[in-house]
Amino acid sequence: MPVVQITSKAQFDTLIQSTPYVAVQASASWCGPCKAISPMFVKHSDALGVENQYAFAKFDTDDVPDLAFELGVRSLPTFYFFEQGTKADYSVTGANPPALKKTVEEVADKVKAAGGGATSTAQRPWCMLDARQPPALLSPGI
């Protein structure tokens, strides 16, 4: 599922009210760590996003400052999570790939438990493999 580009607070409000689980990346065009981790966020969205159940979105704090203020953004990147329209009590601050992966997979497991179609990459190890890699190079345990 593609990452939704949030361009207004109203769009954000609609998204979190219409989608049970949402992961949001606060970033800026000038932020090097944001640029470094964004491709990983996109991969997680493609692997774990479930239409109308688990959305991945991002916004530029310079373009939507009222949303940055409302969320209390203090450093970039920061990843916020919403459940049933409410900001969760957990987030990921900084370009921390292991923490981001763990958190988005935990939310995916909640989606699955609630009847959605997502499963974590820990349960589907093949979803992060490069399809262009010859099968002979794959380990037999996968």
pLDDT in tens, 58-78: 999 999 999 999 999 999 999
**CATH fold of the domain at 4-137:** Glutaredoxin (3.40.30)
What are residue 73's phi and psi, to 5 degrees?
A: -60, 125
Q: How confident is the model at residue 90 (pLDDT cuts 50, 70, 90)?
A: very high
pTM to 2 decimals? 0.81
How many Å apart are CA 71 and CA 80, to the nearest integer? 8
Which amino acids are annotated catalytic?
A: 31, 34
| Model pLDDT for residues 17-55, shown as the tens digit of each residue | 999 999 999 999 999 999 999 999 999 999 999 999 999
The residues with which 56 forms a beta bridge, in sequence order, are 23
- pLDDT surpassing 60 at residue 136: no
- pLDDT surpassing 70 at residue 126: no
Dihedral angle, C-alpha 121, 57, 115, 111, nearest 10 °: 50
